[in-house]
Amino acid sequence: MIDLTRTDSLFVLTMRSGENRFNDAFVDALTAALDTVEAAGSAALITVGEDKFYSNGLDLDWLTGPGAAEGPTFIRRFLRFLGRWLALPVPTIAAINGHAYAGGGMFALAHDFRVMRADRGFFCLPEVDIGLPFAPGMSALIQAKLDAPVARDLMLTGRRLGGTEALALRVVDDAVAADQLLACAKARAEALAAKNVATYGAIKRGMYARALELLDEGTIS
């Protein structure tokens, strides 16, 4: 489901679950990885998917099938999971190797920095087109990370962005060729890995205080 590897102070978390959709089992695996990274002290963390997917968001098949009874509880859990990622006291870089849709896009936004392939994959927040309003914490996360006009346009139109356009709109920090994706992410991570975790975490909690408050509340609508 996931692989977590470490070289010195750099962790690389590779998501290996197809479209990498979020359900209880996937969040369990990612949470266990976070526990490992946090226990390491000063470090940096990169996440990446495989093939054409970074993450396609919530596992709607599971939420409308086997996980239907857990739906509201799981959504609250997912919101708090995003909050934990947003406040993680180590530098985080999303290496967006393919599609980052809906909750997958929000997961990427919860990282400190984003590197995206320039030639393949889309970043998209399609909730307006699939009839799923953003929870207050989701809206706050998106608005904390994107310029106001960009957040408005992406949230209200469901527009898809390729890597080059995402870079121009400052949704991502770099757009590079596929064979440079991890190298670019690692260069960013290695430059930050020695940051003091207490200071780094405190700064992030201050920067994103309102979003973190709403994500922790777990209000769905």
For residues 65 and 91, give the distance between their C-alpha atoms in angstroms, rounded to a whole number: 36
Q: What is the pLDDT along the chain (221 residues), one digit of tens a residue?
A: 999 999 999 999 999 999 999 999 999 999 999 999 999 999 999 999 999 999 999 999 999 888 888 889 999 999 999 999 999 999 999 999 999 999 999 999 999 999 999 999 999 999 999 999 999 999 999 999 999 999 999 999 999 999 999 999 999 999 999 999 999 999 999 999 999 999 999 999 999 999 999 999 988 87
Say whether pTM exceeds 0.75. yes
Is the distance from CB of 37 to CB of 45 less than 8 angstroms?
yes
Tokens in use for 214?
A: 């709403």
Domain 2-217 belongs to what architecture? Answer: Alpha-Beta Complex (3.90)
Q: Where are the domains of the chain?
A: 2-217
pLDDT of residue 27: 97
Helix pair angle (24-39, 71-87), 10° resolution: 20
pLDDT of residue 67: 84
For residues 21 and 100, give the distance between their C-alpha atoms in angstroms, rounded to a whole number: 10
Is the distance from CB of 145 to CB of 114 less than 8 angstroms?
no
Q: The sheet that has 113-117: what strands, in order across it?
A: 2-7, 10-15, 44-48, 92-96, 113-117, 174-176
Helix pair angle (136-145, 148-157), 10° resolution: 130
Ramachandran quadrant class, 57 (left: phi over 0; alpha: psi -120 to 50; beta: rest): left
